[in-house]
């Protein structure tokens, strides 16, 4: 397993990280036994960062992780969780709300602190400026209290996340769907500002929330039709060439040295095995080039998210 520095945080993180959305049953049922086998195998393989949220399964992801990380596994990982988003349309970024959310997370995770705490999906805040002041202040206070070692924020719009980096003295941010086979804006639009301030950047959703998977995106996926069609064509091309599109997509992300770690939402051992295979096997450069040509008409296309209109 390769490890890279996560900004100024002083952390060395594995290039592949474990995401907690699927553990929270976001993509279908998964048993505690399956999660335990997956997480333990990942840690044994060298994965040392696990990212979850109070939002995933309304706490179910944290609850299951608390169970499977008992018995010494917690001490082997950098544990990240996110607060402020409680349900699909329920958000509370107030200082009291953030503090209460974290306390619930700590109980479910069976720990007295997390390593990284993020304000989750800040583009849904009614007033982003309050996130940059009040929410940021409580994050730093929780850090002083020892409830978390590092603090940060996450969201989809890169312009808003860049403002958070520039204004909030953060340690870490998570961006999703912005470094994939279809979209590489993360390294051009966010990475320079983060690097200038020593902020670590984690890349989530290398499959663009299912766009680049064999199963395809969920019905609610917000990408425009042209992006969905191009990604489907890219997946079909991979199939025709005998290449696993999920493996190719992850290989593309991990190859970017400016990204410390890519978070994948695995919950079952067979999914983890495919991800680990991506780290071992050589990239099919010919297919990668063909996929790039197929996706060129929708290169770096994005979609709206949340209330931020910047």
pLDDT in tens, 181-202: 999 999 999 999 999 999 999 9
- The mean pLDDT of the chain is 96
Name the more confident of 189 and 220.
Answer: 189
Judge whether 154 and 122 are in contact, CB under 8 Å.
yes
Query: Among all chains, which residue has been given the structure tokens 């596994």?
Result: 73
Closest to 81 measured CA to CA, from 23, 33, 37, 32: 23
Name the pLDDT band for 255 (thresholds 50, 70, 90): very high
- Rounded CA-CA distance 299/278 in Å is 23
Judge whether 113 and 149 are in contact, CB under 8 Å.
yes
Q: Is 310 a residue whose pLDDT tops 80?
A: no
Q: What six digits make up the tokens of 307?
A: 């209330």
Closest to 125 measured CA to CA, from 169, 84, 178: 84
- Rounded CA-CA distance 257/232 in Å is 27
pLDDT of residue 9: 87
Task: Give me the count of residues in the chain.
Answer: 310
Mean pLDDT of 287-307: 97
Closest to 65 measured CA to CA, from 110, 115, 100: 110
pLDDT of residue 56: 97
Name the pLDDT band for 309 (thresholds 50, 70, 90): confident
Name the pLDDT band for 153 (thresholds 50, 70, 90): very high
Q: Is the dihedral of CA 269, 270, 275, 280 positive or negative?
A: positive
Name the pLDDT band for 218 (thresholds 50, 70, 90): confident
* Residue % of the chain over a pLDDT of 90: 93
Domains of the chain: 3-211+250-282 (3.20.20.100)
202 secondary structure, DSSP code: E
Name the pLDDT band for 125 (thresholds 50, 70, 90): very high
Judge whether 50 and 65 are in contact, CB under 8 Å.
yes
DSSP, collapsed to helix, strand or coil, labels residue 131 as helix
Q: Is 265 a residue whose pLDDT tops 90?
A: no
Judge whether 252 and 284 are in contact, CB under 8 Å.
no
Catalytic residues: 56
Q: Is 15 a residue whose pLDDT tops 80?
A: yes
Q: What is the pTM of this model?
A: 0.96
Q: Is 45 a residue whose pLDDT tops 90?
A: yes
Please, which residues have CB within 8 angstroms of residue 4's CB and are 6 or more apart in sequence? 12, 13, 15, 257, 260, 261
DSSP, collapsed to helix, strand or coil, labels residue 11 as coil
């Amino acid at each position: 397993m390769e490890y890279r520095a996560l900004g100024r945080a002083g952390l060395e993180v594995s290039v592949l990280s474990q995401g907690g959305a699927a553990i929270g049953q976001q993509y279908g049922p998964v048993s505690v036994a399956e999660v335990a086998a997956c997480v333990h195998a990942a840690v044994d393989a060298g994965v040392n960062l696990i990212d979850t949220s109070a939002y995933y399964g309304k706490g179910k992801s944290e609850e299951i992780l608390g169970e499977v990380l008992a018995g010494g596994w917690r001490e082997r990982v950098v544990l990240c969780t996110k607060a402020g988003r409680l349900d699909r349309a329920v958000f509370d970024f107030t200082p009291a709300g953030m503090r209460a959310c974290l306390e619930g997370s700590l109980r479910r995770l069976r720990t007295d602190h997390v390593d990284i705490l993020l304000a989750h999906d800040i583009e849904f805040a009614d007033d982003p400026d309050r996130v940059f002041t009040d929410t940021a202040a409580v994050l730093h206070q929780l850090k002083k209290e020892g409830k978390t070692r590092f603090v940060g924020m996450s969201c989809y719009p890169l312009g808003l996340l860049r403002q958070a980096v520039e204004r909030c003295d953060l340690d870490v941010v998570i961006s999703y769907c912005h470094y994939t086979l279809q979209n590489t804006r993360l390294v051009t639009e966010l990475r320079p500002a983060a690097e200038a301030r020593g902020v670590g950047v984690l890349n989530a959703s290398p499959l663009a929330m299912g766009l680049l998977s064999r199963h395809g995106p969920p019905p609610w996926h917000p990408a425009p039709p042209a992006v969905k069609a191009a990604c489907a064509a890219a997946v079909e091309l991979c199939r025709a060439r005998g290449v696993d599109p999920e493996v190719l997509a992850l290989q593309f992300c991990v190859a970017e040295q400016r990204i410390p770690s890519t978070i994948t939402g695995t919950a079952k051992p067979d999914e983890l095995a495919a991800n680990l295979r991506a780290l071992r096997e050589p990239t099919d450069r010919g297919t990668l080039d063909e996929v790039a040509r197929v996706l060129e008409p929708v290169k770096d296309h994005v979609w709206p998210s949340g209330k931020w209109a910047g």
